Structures are given as structure tokens and as C-alpha cells.
Amino acid sequence: MPDALPHPEPFTPQADPAVLEDLRARLRATRWPDRPEDAGWSLGTDVAYLRELVAYRADGFDWPAQEAALARLPRFHVPLGGLGIHFVHARSVASSGPVLPLVLSHGWPDSFWRYTKVIPLLTDPGAHGADPADAFDVVVPDLPGYGYSDAPTGPPLDSIAVAGPWAELMGLLGYPRFGASGGDIGSHVSRYLALDHPDRVVAVHRTDAGVPVFTGDRSDLEPEERAWLEDGAAWGGREGAYAAMHRTKPQTAAVGLHDSPAGLASWIVEKLRAWSDCDGDIEQSFTKDEILTNLTLYWLTGTIGSSMRMYRANAAIPPAQHARRVEVPSGFSLFPGDVVRPPRAWLERTTNLVRVTEPARGGHFAPFEEPELYAEELREFFRPYRTAAMG
């Protein structure tokens, strides 16, 4: 007899009080570095801000309340490809018309957290001032080694290897055809879903085109494409030290980050600020409670090391894979505060481009920073493909 299909089980984790008390004790015992006078954020994380955040985490932040809020999402765990995968599966409230299934893929340094604000806007648009006909069934998995998904015990998985289980998950949930969307590493996963499962993916939406990889003759590129490649290299020199560590020696950093909650906060908070559309004030984009919810998910799951290792796997993807053109209809929302924003010429070269927009606000974490804008981008882009998913 054939093997039985894996069965998703409801999943509601609850942190051990002893683990939370240990976390508070570690935070209170932080050994702080010195800092040059008036350095602020110019050398990396602002230690003064971090001390304030750590003090609040130790003696004010209410994790059980945040955990209870996350538990209101319909969350599940299922074995796929030898790993336990955690995901949100929120069904539309639409009573009629075609409902488009949509898989949303996150990146680093986050988890399903990235989409928690936007899920209700997508499943019940009528309750948020939008057209009820634009409702989605939403699936948000944690990447392997992120959040509550298992980490590979052997070599880390790259984005190509994740796309297959995501397609399997959507089939398991009863969705033969679906839309895909993502940013950061999730943009890569969504791209490979479209490349390797074009009969399943009706359209793909992304908030970036990744760090540019081009091995051909640069004279064949448009001037704006060459400028973008140069800008990408310059950005890597200014801002890419974290990625170089992730690609080359992730375990070196993981020891300290896994052991020190203040160190973990420093590593992640600096990126939340640098990559969001916050004009230098991180709390324009994220409240302290929101930041600490993301950080506490990392701490409780112990996934900082496994999340970083995925960079190493993705760095080994062969150039021929990067050169493949996505023929599935593709759309991009390029938010102004994001990093390394691609020119239209590159998007036309690498995808079957049908739509590109530049929303007024938002950055790398647009689904969390600007959930209403992000939801509207998805509604408008996927509207023509709803009936295709029913075929």
C-alpha cells in the first residue's frame, strides 16, 4: 500500500516558565561593551537604545500575552521531507467567488512573524474596507531552521530545496494551483516555486529581485542594469558584513548569539532599523513589543544558527540557476525603504513581468511595516489570476 499522506496537526506552543526566567536572568546579567561618545548607530547597534530594549525585555515585556495573540492564528505542524514544518493556514471568510490560495515566504531575520499583521487583511478584506471578492486562503510556513520548523541536521537547505516541500504542502492542503509571494530569502523561494512548478503557480509576486547575480557580458546589459550591479556591490561593501559571516562562518557567530539574548538582539535589531523605512528611528516601524516578539521567537526556538546557515547553502547555488528566466506571470512591489532595488530592465530580462509598482511607504519588512499597503498590492496583482487557480 502507498504511504499515507502526512497529516497536519494543530500546533500551539507554550514557553516553559523556567526558560523565560532564565532569559530574564541572562538579560539582567548582560556584560555591556564600551561605546564611543555620540556613536549612535554609526558603528552598528546603538548600545544606549539596546540597553533600554533589554531592560524592558527583562522587566516589562509580556511574552505570555504575545504568545496568546500568536495562538489565535490557525497554526499547524506537519512532517515534510523528513522535517517538521510549522505553518499558518488561515482560510478566507468569503462566501462565494473564486478564493485564491496564496503561500507567503519570509526571510531573515524573522519567521512567520513577518506576515502576522497582514493575514487578516488578506483573508477578510471586506472587514478592512476592501472588496470581499479579493479574499485569499493564506499559508505562511516557517522556513526550515526558522521559527518553529525543524532545522536540517545535515547540510542546510537552499531556496531550491525549500520550494519543493512548499509545493507539496499546498497540494496536501488541497490547492493544486496557487499564488506565491515573498521577500528576502522568501523571494528566492517564490522564484523557484515558479521556475520548478510552473503548472502549479498561477502568478508570483515579490518585493525584491535578490542580490544581483550576472555572469554574462555586462556590455549586453542596459546602463541602469550595470549601475544596479555596481550599487549592489557597493552596498555589500558597506552593509554586507553580516551576510559574509552567514555565508562563511555562521557557527562562529552562532555560539555567542545563541548564548546571549542581548547579543542576539543586537544582531537582529540593527537590521530591523537599517532595512525598514523608519528614517533612522526604528520605532517608527516597530514597537518594542513587536521587536521583542520577533527576538523571543528566535530565542525560544534556538534558530539563530540554523537561520544563518541557509545563507551558506544559497551562496552555493550554481550560476545557471540564477540565469533561469521566470515565465510565470510576475509582479514586483518595490518599497522605497528596501535595499538594492532592481531596475525595470532587469525585471523584464529575468521574468515575465506583468506589473511593477513603487508604493509610497515601507521597507524590507513591508508586510509588517505597512500591512495595508502590502495587502492592497497583493489584491491588485493577483486579481486577474483568481479564476486560473480554479482551473
The string of pLDDT tens digits covering residues 131-163 is 999 999 999 999 999 999 999 999 999 999 999
The catalytic residue among 184, 208, 277, 338 is 184
pLDDT band with cut points at 50, 70 and 90 for residue 3: low
Q: How confident is the model at residue 1 (pLDDT cuts 50, 70, 90)?
A: very low
Higher pLDDT, 386 or 388: 386
Mean pLDDT of 230-244: 92
**pLDDT level of residue 164 (50, 70, 90 thresholds):** very high
Domain residues of the chain, as ranges? Answer: 9-25+41-390
For 329-357, what is the HEC assignment? EEEEECCCECCCCCCHHHHHHHEEEEEEE
Q: Given a cut of 70, is residue 326 above it in pLDDT? A: yes
Mean pLDDT value of segment 365-372: 98
Q: What is the pTM of this model?
A: 0.96
CA distances from 231 to 213, 226, 317, 339 (A): 13, 9, 22, 10
pLDDT score of 70: 98
**Residue that wins the pLDDT comparison between 390 and 142:** 142
Average pLDDT, the chain: 95
Residue 302 pLDDT level (bands cut at 50, 70, 90): very high
| Catalytic residue check, 311 | yes
**2: confidence class by pLDDT, cuts 50, 70, 90:** low
Considering 49, 311, 374, 385, which one is annotated as catalytic? 311
Which of the residues 142, 188, 364, 374 is marked catalytic?
364
Task: Report residue 277 CA to chain centroid gap.
Answer: 16
Task: Work out the average pLDDT over 68-89.
Answer: 97
CB-CB contact of 214 with 351 (8 Å) = no
Beta pairing partners, 78: 85
- Buried (b) or exposed (e) across 191-215, using 16+ Cβ within 10 A? bbbbbebeebbbbbbbbbbbbbebe
Pairing of strands 351-357, 83-90: unpaired
Closest CA to 282 of 43, 114, 41: 41
193: amino acid identity, one letter: L
pLDDT at 388 over 90: no
Percent of the chain with pLDDT over 90: 90
Give the pLDDT mean for 364-374.
Answer: 98
Structure confidence at residue 391 as a pLDDT band (50, 70, 90): low
Which of 315, 322, 354, 348 is closest to 192 using CA atoms?
A: 322
Told to judge if 59 belongs to the known catalytic residues of this protein, a careful annotator would answer no
The yes-or-no verdict on residue 311 having pLDDT over 50 is yes
Mean pLDDT within 229-242: 91
- Measure the CA–CA gap between 379 and 134, rounded to whole angstroms: 6
Asked if residue 353 has pLDDT above 50, the reply is: yes
Active site residue 184: yes
| Second-level CATH architecture of 9-25+41-390 | 3-Layer(aba) Sandwich (3.40)
Q: Is the pLDDT of residue 241 over 60?
A: yes
Q: Residue 44: which pLDDT band, with cuts at 50, 70 and 90?
A: very high
Helix 288-301 vs helix 17-28: crossing angle, to nearest 10: 110
Mean pLDDT of 160-178: 97
Distance CA 2, CA 230 (A): 53
